[in-house]
Amino acid sequence: MLVAKLVSKRAHQVPGKLTISEYFFEVPLNHASPLDGTLRLFARSIERFEKPVGVVEEEAKPLPWRGPGFPCKSPQNYGWTEKALDKGYQIMFLDQRGTGLSSTVTEQTLARHGGPMAQATYLRHFRADSIVEDCEAIRRNLTSEQAEENQKWSIIGQSFGGFCCLNYLSTHPEGLREAFILGGLAPIMVEQPDPVYQNLYHKVAERNRSYYAKYSEDIQRVKNIIHYLQTEKVKLPSGGTLSIARFRQLGINFGFHGGIDAVHEIILRLDSDLECYGYFTRPTLSGFESTQGFDDNPLYALMHEAIYLQGRHASNWSADRVMKDHPVFMNLSTSNDEPIYFTGEMIYPSMFRDYTQLRNLAPTADILAQMTDWPALYNPDRLAHTNDVPVYASIYIDDMYVSHDLARETAARLRGCRTFITNAMYHDAIGAAGKSEEVFRRLFALREDVLD
């Protein structure tokens, strides 16, 4: 089995009596064909500079992921880090391949690999299965000199990170001591994204109703903005286009703590600009643009639907097709009393026209949308019948990104999975003020308590 090559490691002390170590590793692009090229991966670990008395340092190192397409922040910037350290863990934060400092994917870096077909073929190696192979290769490197009983580690995954955890449990359970999954129990029996979006559009519609119930005055404000966009072409500061479709993508924020209020602030500014000046001012457009991260994280748009694909299925722009089955999202009328609904965490072909850094990637996205013959991501039989790795998971009833219903189906199929299910938190609870500690308290209660 392959072992990651450690390129460099540097350690630094940071305020709070913490030591941050920065690692660069080299791993194969394709773990099944190591001669196809390599990727450079970046990770940070954190541990106490002065270890608290009475706490035994475990060798397990949780690795958090989110995305697909987003790197990790520096460890001391996570609210839950201190709690994990207090439990005796060292923690390693990995920038998954294609993000952050790990061979980041951008329009420019993809162009180095050739045309659209070559780029799409390259990107097939940026799903959960490849990320997990990276982690296993890193684990073998870091634990090679330890006793065998100390070579296993714990993993933690938020959102897409949970998908990676389930792949890890399916393919390399021998490397794991335990798994924590936060809002990320993937639909393991789904082989293409249509059922996922059929489910999630209902949740997005529900969050739209909550938005307009709280800010009923925004029904008309949104119509005013849509009416303006129907007749005017608006260029954003980055050079992108503020189309009606892109405007409606503000709804991706509805599933976060404080997301409804954040969208209201943007709507208020956009409508106020129209009322005062008859156009949108630069500060308002800059504020709007800052809420959408696809230009800086194109992997998110390119691979989002592919994270569900298994077997001989193509995504074929699933979210765009499935939306037509939900008429409430098709209403764009500015002359009636029906509210215009925002969309959620869905990827549409129009995004590859509206976002500056996605425009040249449209052919690549089209090829990915038509690709079939995707490797299996999960082993349902192993997860259901022979899994002996303890799993502790949170499920959020009002999750707008990972279906609560499908997550519960996965939990029921996953041997050794203990869950806490709540309607008092949203998908990003682990990073939300006042929620992070509660999430960890509940997860560790599952880990440490006994159910008779």
271, 318, 427, 436: which is the annotated catalytic residue?
Answer: 427
CA distance 194 to 196: 5
Reply yes or no on whether 257 is catalytic.
no
- With contact defined as beta carbons under 8 Å apart, do 413 and 381 qualify? no
CA distance 4 to 27: 5
Q: Tell me which DSSP letter residue 155 carries.
A: E
Reply yes or no on whether 172 is catalytic.
no
Strands 91-95 and 38-48: antiparallel
159, 170, 318, 394: which is the annotated catalytic residue?
Answer: 159
Residue 153 phi, psi (nearest 5)? -135, 165
DSSP secondary structure, 161-219, as one string: HHHHHHHHHHH-GGGEEEEEEES----TT-SSSHHHHHHHHHHHHHHHHHHHHH-TTHH
Q: Tell me which DSSP letter residue 386 carries.
A: I
CA distance 204 to 197: 10
3-state helix, strand, coil in the chain (%, to 5): 45, 15, 40
DSSP secondary structure, 273-320, as one string: HHHHHSS--HHHHHHHHTT--TTT-HHHHHHTGGGG--BS---SSHHH
CA distance 99 to 331: 36
129, 194, 218, 399: which is the annotated catalytic residue?
Answer: 399
Give the up-direction half-sphere exposure of residue 169: CA atoms within 13 A in the CB hemisphere. 39
CA distance 361 to 119: 9
Reply yes or no on whether 427 is catalytic.
yes
Instruction: Give the chain's length.
Output: 452
- With contact defined as beta carbons under 8 Å apart, do 379 and 170 qualify? yes
Angle between helices 194-214 and 404-413 (to 10 degrees): 130
**Which residues does the annotation mark as catalytic?**
159, 399, 427
